[in-house]
């Protein structure tokens, strides 16, 4: 970036041998194009782009010659609790308002998301080519599949034959809770992965299934690995 005048606070951090022009940044602020021309100067490796101070193998370390590292810590949208209390500023990354974490999911309730769930996830995550997302993301399950998903998640709570659970799901027009679809009834990232930190939602809330700490170990999967497919597809 050139022709930018740093703030007084930032200007005080700029090393004295990083020249400005009229108080503004130029190409020569960071790059010393004459350093290989000086007598007795050790040649600078070509990969260093003639950066002042010898550059650095880590580009961020060079940036921190002027910028304060503490201002550029990575943001983790899954860091949602502080001493057991909800971090409202983190909720606002995805939600328009801070949701009531103690409320149970209701049929047709709005998630209050700032954008489609998949678009929010892509703000931070790059999906690998090998991921099954290509054939699943934004797919609309049939009514029969939705009933199967609802029956599957009731299986661990009700000691009834699976055929009877299917009848209950069909009669009540129940939609899945712990394997949620998006507001348009489509498969989305959070259908399989729980974006919430463990402890944010009460344990009795079906949306809490699969939640993990700030640093996940099991991809925040709502269904254990090896059983993900059978949560939606009959064998």
Q: Return the bridge partners of 31, or none.
A: 51
Both 31 and 103 in a single domain? no
- Going by the DSSP 8-state scheme, the letter that residue 229 receives in this structure is G
Nearest to 188 by CA among 96, 102, 86, 115: 115
Give the per-residue pLDDT at 112: 86
Mark which of 28, 56, 72 sits at the end of a domain. 72
The reply to whether 23 and 127 lie within a common domain is no
Task: Quote the pLDDT of residue 35.
Answer: 75
Residue 3 covered by a domain: no
Query: For the chain, what percent of residues have pLDDT higher than 90?
Result: 49
Residue 32 is classified by DSSP as: -
Calpha distance 167→4 (Å, rounded): 66
Asked if residue 217 and residue 130 are part of one domain, the reply reads: yes
pLDDT at 93 over 80: yes
pLDDT band at residue 59 using 50, 70 and 90 as cut-offs: confident
> What was the pLDDT predicted at 109?
63
Q: In the prediction, which pLDDT does 36 show? A: 67
Range of the domain at 131: 75-235
What is the pLDDT confidence band of residue 95, given thresholds at 50, 70 and 90?
Answer: very high
Is 146 found in the same domain as 219?
A: yes
Q: Is pLDDT above 80 for 156?
A: yes
Q: What is the mean pLDDT of the chain?
A: 87
Residues 106 and 180 in one domain: yes
Looking at residue 111, what is its pLDDT?
76
Q: How far is CA 66 from CA 10, 18, 109, in A?
A: 7, 9, 48
194 CB burial (10 A radius; 0-12, 13-18, 19+): buried
Strands 81-82 and 85-86: antiparallel
Q: Which helix (H) or strand (E) holds 85?
A: strand 85-86
CA distance 99 to 104: 11
Q: What integer pLDDT is reported at residue 40 of this predicted model?
A: 65
pLDDT at 20 over 70: yes
Number of Cβ within a 10 Å radius of residue 16: 5
Same domain for 223 and 129, yes or no, is: yes
In a shared domain, residues 144 and 54: no
Lowest mean pLDDT among 40-49, 59-68, 129-138: 40-49
Three-class SS of residue 128? coil
Q: Which two tokens stand for residue 19?
A: 């020249």
At 39 the pLDDT is 65
Region 155-160 average pLDDT: 88
Per-residue confidence (pLDDT) for residue 220, from 0 to 100:
95
pLDDT above 70: residue 105: no
Residues 28 and 139 grouped into a single domain: no
Q: Is 142 exposed, middle or buried (0-12, 13-18, 19+ CB in 10 A)?
A: exposed
In this prediction, residues 93-110 reach a mean pLDDT of 78
Q: Please indicate, yes or no, if residue 1 is contained in any of the structural domains.
A: no
**What are 51's strand-pairing partners?**
31
Q: Are residues 86 and 22 in the same domain?
A: no
**Residue 133: which pLDDT band, with cuts at 50, 70 and 90?**
confident
Residue that has been written with the tokens 């990575």 in this structure: 74
pLDDT band at 41 (very low <50, low <70, confident <90, very high): low
């Amino acid at each position: 970036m050139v022709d930018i005048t740093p703030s007084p606070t930032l200007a005080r951090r700029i090393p004295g041998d990083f020249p400005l022009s009229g108080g503004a940044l130029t190409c020569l602020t960071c790059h010393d194009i004459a350093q290989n021309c000086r007598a007795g100067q050790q040649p600078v490796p070509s990969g260093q782009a003639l950066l002042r101070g010898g550059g650095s193998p880590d580009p961020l370390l060079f940036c921190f010659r002027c910028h304060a590292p503490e201002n550029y810590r990575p943001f983790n949208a899954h860091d949602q609790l502080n001493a057991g209390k909800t971090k409202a500023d983190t909720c606002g990354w995805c939600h328009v308002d801070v949701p009531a974490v103690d409320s149970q999911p209701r049929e047709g309730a709005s998630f209050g998301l700032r954008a489609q769930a998949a678009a929010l996830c892509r703000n931070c995550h790059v999906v690998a080519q090998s991921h099954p997302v290509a054939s699943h993301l934004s797919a609309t399950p049939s009514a029969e599949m939705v009933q199967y998903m609802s029956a599957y998640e009731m299986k661990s709570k009700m000691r009834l034959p699976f055929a009877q659970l299917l009848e209950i799901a069909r009669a009540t027009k129940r939609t899945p809770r712990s394997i949620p679809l998006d507001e348009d009834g489509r498969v989305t990232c959070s259908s399989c992965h729980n974006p919430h930190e463990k402890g944010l939602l009460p344990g009795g809330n079906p949306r809490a299934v699969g939640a993990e700490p700030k640093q996940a170990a099991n991809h925040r999967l709502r269904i254990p690995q090896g059983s993900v497919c059978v949560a939606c597809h009959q064998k």
